[in-house]
A and B are shown apart, each in its own frame.
Chain A
Amino acid sequence: MITLRLYKILKQIIYKINTLNKNKIEIVKLWTNASPTSSFAKQAINLDMTGYDYIDVYVVRNKGTDASFQSSAYRLRLPVDTHLIFIEPPNINNAEYYARGITITSSKDKITFTSGMRRTLNLSNLSTDTDEVVIPVEIYGIKGVV
């Protein structure tokens, strides 16, 4: 019985290895924001993601310059046909706390973004919503992930 069980486990492992060998991982750029210094309101972007297992969405906080992108880009990975809520950890500066976020929903043919949200927490002001934070800059499709 134990031998048969081990045989089945080994067979599954060999199958997975063969699958990995056949399905090489591919990362394909699907979308580039042509104006990352502009605001980014809630919207849907049409993308054909047939065949992709995951997508990587790179976002920057604050519509900004190249310097902003280089210093504060985040990579958000989510499976196709799911959604992800991204909340940047709060930052403490001059007794003001910032938390930025965005919700991303992917399907086979589009990606939907909510507006970026910024929660500014200090003694007098609680929150501010703005389209000027959390700007998507690039989207990649990933194939071959088991």
Chain B
Amino acid sequence: MYALNLDKDNRILSACNVLSIGTYEGMPIVDTLPEGDITDYKYIDGVYVYEPLPKADDNSARIAELKQMLADTDYIVIKIAEGVATWDEYPGIKEQRQAWREEINKLEQTSTTE
């Protein structure tokens, strides 16, 4: 179960796991959370309402962030290339890095065409 921390307009600010020692006065208790970024939702009368906030149009910041994440995981690729580790030891990383590269390519194409 989860406790929702709501803003004044019922937007979800965060959610926490319900712990036995916690007190969650005024916080809705739910069984499931919405998919994706939960802050894109409001919680109104027991229902999740999808209302994402407008994102700043800043492809360069996002591209830089993705490159940072790729750089942060380069050491894994190096270890595997040197034969001291395998992809099995880092489940999901290969697919995640591919997703980051694809997003970079997509954003760079968008920036070029604008």
Q: Which residues of A contact B (CB under 8 A)?
A: 28-35, 37-41, 43, 45-48, 62-68, 71-72, 91, 93-94, 96, 98, 120, 125, 128, 130-132
Q: Which of A39, A68, A91 has the most CB of B within 10 A?
A: A39
The 25 listed contacts between A and B (C-beta, < 8 Å) are A30-B21, A31-B16, A31-B19, A31-B22, A32-B17, A33-B14, A35-B14, A38-B15, A38-B37, A40-B14, A45-B5, A45-B16, A46-B24, A46-B25, A46-B26, A48-B23, A62-B68, A67-B90, A71-B72, A71-B73, A93-B67, A93-B71, A125-B60, A125-B61, A130-B61
B80 located at the interface, meaning its Cβ lies under 8 Å from any Cβ of chain A in the complex: no
- Contact (Cβ within 8 A) A41 B72: no
Q: Which residues of B contact A (CB under 8 A)?
A: 2, 5, 7, 13-17, 19, 21-27, 33, 36-39, 56, 58, 60-61, 64-65, 67-69, 71-73, 90, 92-93, 96
- Which residues from chain B contact A65 at a C-beta distance below 8 Å? 92, 96
Minimal Cβ-Cβ distance residue in A for B23? A48
A91 to B68, CA, bound (A): 9
- Contact (Cβ within 8 A) B37 A39: yes
- Which residues from chain B contact A130 at a C-beta distance below 8 Å? 56, 61
- Contact (Cβ within 8 A) B69 A68: yes
A113 to B39, CA, bound (A): 16
Q: A34-B14, A39-B39 are in contact. List 13 more A-B contacts (CB 8 A).
A: A31-B22, A32-B17, A32-B19, A35-B33, A46-B23, A46-B25, A47-B22, A67-B90, A71-B73, A72-B72, A93-B71, A120-B61, A128-B61
Minimal Cβ-Cβ distance residue in B for A32? B17
- Which residues from chain B contact A43 at a C-beta distance below 8 Å? 5, 7, 13-14
- Contact (Cβ within 8 A) B65 A62: yes
- Which residues from chain B contact A38 at a C-beta distance below 8 Å? 14-15, 36-39
A66 to B71, CA, bound (A): 16
Minimal Cβ-Cβ distance residue in A for B37? A38
- Which residues from chain B contact A40 at a C-beta distance below 8 Å? 13-14, 39
- Which residues from chain A contact B27 at a C-beta distance below 8 Å? 46
